[in-house]
Amino acid sequence: MSEPLVLGIETSCDETGIGIVRGRTLLSNTIASSMDQHARYGGVVPEVAARAHLEALQPSIDAALAEAGVRLDDLDAIAVTSGPGLAGALMVGVGAAKGLAVSLDKPLYAVNHLVGHIAADILTADSVPLEYPTIALLVSGGHTSLLHVRDLTTDVELLGETMDDAAGEAFDKVARLLSLPYPGGPEIDRAALDGDRDAIRFPRGLSRASDMAKHRYDFSFSGLKTAVARWVERCEADGVEVPVADVAASFREAVVDVLVTKALAACRDLGVPRLLLGGGVIANRRLREVALERAEAAGVTVRIPPLSLCTDNGAMIAALAAELITSGRRASTLAFGADSTLPVTEIQIAEIPLTETQIAEIQIAEAS
């Protein structure tokens, strides 16, 4: 099977993503978002997200099939996110994927969401294929992770991740402090337009020399959020109007600085001159700008998939499964569940074990 036709189901957070790919060709990237329903709460509410997934799944699958111009019978495999993510949200996708796979009698691939973000890059047809190894920085409302990718389907290592809030969450929380609506990322970006990013020197989390031994590639944004809160409170106490533009620009600069600094440090330390960016926060213009500028100075090539493939989506899940299939991996058993803290080293979950006959055949082949 050279070009497997795969339907991917992604429900790890607030987007119901259904993607269809043929090998590395994107046929549909259908997304139904429940973001509007979370706006009044100022952040993603897991139960609200899970309810929305159940409602959106079937119409999204129908829409994806129509867009791709394929029928369910044509599929070679189904893929689904097993984790990491919100447990209750993931389980809706897992239930649906199993129902669909059994119904169609097609193989099912359970895959890792974070590795999916890396796989999104292979769907960009006109660019040269992703080279390995690469450092990957994945930043969203749910995760902030720095990865060392030696091979997409077999060898991904976690270098560091956030110890508290995800970067996207920090944007949401600081937006609230500044009385800006949810989601915070685009609002902070807008507010920061006329701001001076050097106006306030906000702290860079886990960036002191003393942090370097244990947390060289880890992130922390809760101290930054508290620093912004203090600044705002002090303005109020002094009866001064909060300089929203300056606070927004300076806060964003602190986040961007720490993300790019640590990512490029990993490139330098590991001798990997390639950096892949992924996750919804990559939509932040300033982050892309600083990353490109400083990477160029450091001799590092930056890859950024189209934004529609950076945010959570089912196409990246299908793409990862297509790569697994192409590289000869067996399907997953039906016995996996949702794993909200699935480590990034588990690229595929519950691959069907080889039978004794298969093992014997391999041994014979290797001996001859």
Partner 1 sequence: MNRDYPGEVILAVDTSLGTAVALTDDDGARRAEAIAADPLGHAEVIGDLLVRALADAGQGEVSHVVAGMGPGPFTGLRIGIAAARAFALGRGIPVIAVPSHFAAALTALATATGPFAIVTDARRREVAITVFDGADADGIPHVTADTVLVPAVDADAHLDGIRRIDVTELSAVDLARVGALAVAAGRTLAGDEPLYLRHPDVTVPGAPKRVGS
Q: Using the rule CB under 8 A, is 68 a contact of partner 1?
A: no
Q: Using the rule CB under 8 A, is 230 a contact of partner 1?
A: yes
End-to-end CA distance of the chain: 25
| Residue 108 near which of Zn ion, partner 1, none (CB within 5-8 Å, type-dependent) | partner 1
Judged by CB under 8 A, the residue of 79, 97, 152, 322 near partner 1 is 97
Neighbours of 113 (CB within 10 A): 27
Q: Using the rule CB under 8 A, is 177 a contact of partner 1?
A: yes
**Interacting stretch for partner 1, rule CB under 8 A, among 146-154, 211-219, 230-238, 239-247?**
230-238
| Residue 83 near which of Zn ion, partner 1, none (CB within 5-8 Å, type-dependent) | none
Task: Compute CA distances 255 → 181, 231, 251, whole Å.
Answer: 19, 16, 6
How many residues touch partner 1 (CB under 8 A)? 45
Q: Using the rule CB under 8 A, is 96 a contact of partner 1?
A: yes
CB of 335 to partner 1, least distance (A): 6
Nearer to Zn ion, 75 or 114 (CB): 114
| Residue 208 near which of Zn ion, partner 1, none (CB within 5-8 Å, type-dependent) | none
DSSP annotation string for 189-208: HHHHTTS-TTSS----TT-S
CB 73 within 8 A of CB 45: no
Q: Using the rule CB under 5 A, is 30 a contact of Zn ion?
A: no
Q: What b-and-e string marks burial along 309-323, b requiring 16 or more CB atoms within 10 Å of the CB?
A: bbbbbbbbbbbbbbb
Return the amino acid letter for 114.
L
Cα gap 221→170, rounded to integer Å: 6
Radius of gyration for the alpha carbons in the chain, expressed in angstroms and rounded:
21
Q: Using the rule CB under 8 A, is 201 a contact of partner 1?
A: no
Q: Using the rule CB under 8 A, is 45 a contact of partner 1?
A: yes
Two structure tokens written together for 348: 């595929």
**Interacting stretch for Zn ion, rule CB under 5 A, among 2-10, 95-103, 289-297, 310-318?**
310-318
Q: Using the rule CB under 8 A, is 307 a contact of partner 1?
A: no
**Interacting stretch for Zn ion, rule CB under 5 A, among 20-28, 156-164, 236-244, 312-320?**
312-320
Q: Is 334 helix (H, G, I), strand (E, B) or coil?
A: coil
Return the amino acid letter for 57.
L
Alpha-helical (H) ranges within the chain are 35-39, 46-68, 87-104, 113-119, 167-177, 184-192, 212-215, 222-237, 244-270, 285-297, 307-310, 314-326, 356-367
Q: Using the rule CB under 8 A, is 175 a contact of partner 1?
A: no
Judged by CB under 5 A, the residue of 140, 207, 220, 348 near Zn ion is 140
Cα gap 352→323, rounded to integer Å: 17
Q: Site mask, partner 1, residues 103-142, x = CB under 8 A?
A: xx---x----------------------------------
CB 30 within 8 A of CB 351: no
Q: For helices 87-104 and 46-68, what crossing angle results, to 10°?
A: 30
Q: Using the rule CB under 5 A, is 312 a contact of Zn ion?
A: yes
| Residue 285 near which of partner 1, Zn ion, none (CB within 5-8 Å, type-dependent) | none
Give the binding site for partner 1 (CB under 8 A).
Answer: 40-42, 45, 47-48, 50-51, 53-55, 57-58, 61-62, 72, 87-88, 91-104, 108, 176-177, 226, 229-230, 233-234, 334-338
